[in-house]
A and B are shown apart, each in its own frame.
Chain A
Amino acid sequence: MNGAAKMPEPAALLTAEKIHVWRGERHVLRGVSLKVESGRLLHLFGPNGTGKTTLLRVIAGLLRPEQGRVCWDGRPIGEAREQYQSAMAYASHEAALKADLTALENLRYAVGMKRRASETELRAALEETGVGGCADLPARVLSAGQKRRVAMARVLAMRASLWLLDEPYANLDTSGGALVSRLLEEHLDRGGLALVIAHHALELGRSIDRLELSP
């Protein structure tokens, strides 16, 4: 097992209360509330355009809702920004890698902003997600699936207790999909929390919470 098994401060609770977001004239999120506890995964699903990514961005703190609030351990995330961001790893539907940096450098500069991680740890995270052989290759030569795996390695290496994942199964083959499911299960076993957007049913060896967003 790699070094990602430890987490700095396992957190207890993420809540979102009555989140409202408008995009121009469109009322995208209409009073969405949710709660995720330690060791639980919330699967967000629904048709395209129903605001799943918007909700994830609100929860990440990238987007301020017009109404409602997101709390981490009982405190609004705006007030506990540093604590919240230290405990959170966000993977958008883009891999968010610099094309001219190697996979390892991408991890070093992204993870290094949150915690001091040794090169061995970062390489171990890449090995864990099956792209250890690509560590020294520039991200621009990696396939979409490999980039997704590097993005998962970044999430893993951050040792965050809350994972916010937008379409983590996209571009992955069968083994990649199984890998993401296994990483999620291990994360939850360690007491972590996860919010995952996925269009298909998640098959984990445990019960999960589900929230459907409808148009």
Chain B
Amino acid sequence: MSVGVLEAMSLVVRREMRLAFRRPDQLLQPLVFFLIVTTLFPLSLSPELSLLRDMAPGVLWVAALLSSLLSLETLFKGDAEDGTLEQLTLSAQPLVAIVIAKTIAHWLLSGAALVLMSPLVATALAIPVGAFPTMLASLALGTLTLSWLGAIGAGLTVGLRRGSVLLSLIVLPLAMPLLIFGASATDRAIGGEGSAGALYFLAALCVFTCTLAPFAAAAALRITLE
């Protein structure tokens, strides 16, 4: 009996999860990086709460961006190196669907984990509890968008030996709006102001990238496989 697209996507997500939990070092590396970078700031700066609170959105978002980048390179590289990407490509399932499944799995393993960890970091940065919902929502949207953008970069650089630098050069400029509006949303929430505008913008970016990025990443992978 043939397999439907959703069933195949679910299989890919489960495969990625299993692989990630078999290699916990790769899973934990971006999270530990996020934790270390964000906790270094309170240690290195004056412990004055107002100063920490002012810097918190920027620190939080830069750390989230950089730690997400750490795991992006591995999105397709492992599969390309061991030949399983060819098997996936010839699996009678649309490559776009496979890219979507792999990107969602990547976000669940890196972005979502980072979002769950962020209240701990936010406490160290003196972010008030009242700002947590906005911070969590903005980080969730931002990291998901970053995963979609990263899928394009990872698809383009998968065949390159030192692709990580190029991947950063491709993804970081595209991620600037995320940084600006994500930090702005968190900052406004800390100040007790409305942050709906920035969140809507992040949500629009997320929808835009998740609509186009899978096609771009799939096209990049096809070129790489040739």
Chain A contacts to B: CB under 8 angstroms? 60-64, 81-82, 85-86, 88, 90, 92, 94-101, 105, 109-110, 112-116, 138, 154
B226–A63 contact, CB under 8 A? yes
Given contacts A62-B226, A85-B92, A90-B86, contact A100 B22 (CB under 8 A): yes
| With A62-B90, A63-B225, A97-B82 already in contact, 6 other A-B pairs whose C-beta atoms are closer than 8 Å | A96-B82, A98-B19, A100-B19, A101-B18, A113-B3, A113-B8
Number of A-B contacts (CB under 8 A): 77
User: B87 in the interface, Cβ–Cβ < 8 Å?
Assistant: yes
A114–B2 contact, CB under 8 A? yes
User: B173 in the interface, Cβ–Cβ < 8 Å?
Assistant: no
Q: CA separation between A88 and B11, bound complex, in Å?
A: 20
Query: For residue A88, which residue of chain B has the nearest CB?
Result: B90
Count residues of B near A (Cβ-Cβ below 8 Å): 26
Chain B nearest Cβ from A17, distance in angstroms = 20
Measured between beta carbons, the chain A residues less than 8 angstroms from B90 are 60-62, 85, 88, 90
Interface residues of B in 75-115 (CB under 8 A from A): 78, 82-84, 86-93
Q: CA separation between A109 and B87, bound complex, in Å?
A: 10
Chain B contacts to A: CB under 8 angstroms? 1-3, 8, 11-12, 14-15, 18-19, 22-23, 78, 82-84, 86-93, 225-226
A109–B3 contact, CB under 8 A? no
A-B pairs with the 7 shortest C-beta distances? Answer: A96-B83, A113-B91, A85-B92, A94-B83, A100-B22, A86-B92, A109-B15
From A98, A113, A115, contact of B82 by CB (8 A): A98
Query: For residue B22, which residue of chain A has the nearest CB?
Result: A100
Query: For residue B92, which residue of chain A has the nearest CB?
Result: A85
Measured between beta carbons, the chain B residues less than 8 angstroms from A97 are 82, 84
Q: Among the interface residues A90, A96, A101, which one has the most CB atoms of the partner chain B within 10 A?
A: A96
Measured between beta carbons, the chain A residues less than 8 angstroms from B226 are 62-64
